[in-house]
Amino acid sequence: MYKHSWPTLAVVVLAAAALGGCSSTTPGTGGTSSAAPSTSQATTAAPATTSPGGSTTEPMAGSAVLKTATSSLGSIVVDAAGKTVYYFDKDTAGSGASACNGACLAAWPAVVAPSDAPAVDGVTATVGTITRNDGTKQVTLNGLPIYTYTPDANAGDVKGQGFGGIWWVIAPDGDKVTGTSSGY
């Protein structure tokens, strides 16, 4: 049994409630996936971005929108701030839309980029974007939209791994990581 502080428990309960909001059958956007730049291209600085869920990511100068890091699950993909990124099983690869909208985005903010060709470092999956209804460019890996998880407060946290049996950490090649972490 895991011990949780009241704020952490409240966030988990909120996330579980938000998960119900993720079952909407109305896709969030239309758009097209675009091919990613080669990982051998120079990394460019990304400006601060605000996700549809309202969180702001302030990448450091010269940083990539996505990069790799080592976690308790092995090598994984993280955003510019070092937060773990996730796939949502209700998304469909290549659909050009996100199935996570409304309350879902509060718990699972979309990873956004300033352009259709996000800079990456060490990520070998095909990188692209879709355009959300609010006009932001949500990053995709192998055609699937990607997200962070609000309770992952620190770089390297993987608290969303396997959440609800539908949220998965992503390996640098774009595969889902289906193992569990001893670091929950």
Give the tens place of pLDDT for each residue, 91-108. Answer: 999 999 999 999 999 999
Strand partners, 121: 67
Q: What is the DSSP string of 25-92?
A: SS-S------PPPPTTSPP-----EE-TTS-EE-PPTT--SEEEEEETTEEEEEETTS-B-EEETTS-
Place of tokens 């699950």: 73
Question: Higher confidence at residue 21 or residue 125?
Answer: 125
Residue 137: which H helix or E strand, with range?
strand 137-141
Residue 105 DSSP SS3: helix
The predicted structure's pLDDT at residue 7: 44
What is the rounded CA–CA span in Å between residue 109 and residue 56?
A: 10
Q: Flag whether pLDDT at 64 surpasses 60.
A: yes
Confidence of residue 177 (pLDDT cuts 50, 70, 90): very high
Please determine, for residue 162, whether its predicted confidence score (pLDDT) is greater than 50: yes
pLDDT at 50 over 80: no
Domain locations in the chain as residue ranges: 27-177
**Long-range pairs of 177-183 with CB within 8 A, sequence gap ≥ 24:** 177/73, 177/74, 177/76, 179/73, 179/74, 181/71, 181/72, 181/73, 182/72, 183/71, 183/72, 183/156, 183/157, 183/158
The answer on pLDDT for 48 being more than 60 is no
Rounded Cα distance between 158 and 180, Å, is 9
pLDDT score of 44 more than 60 = no
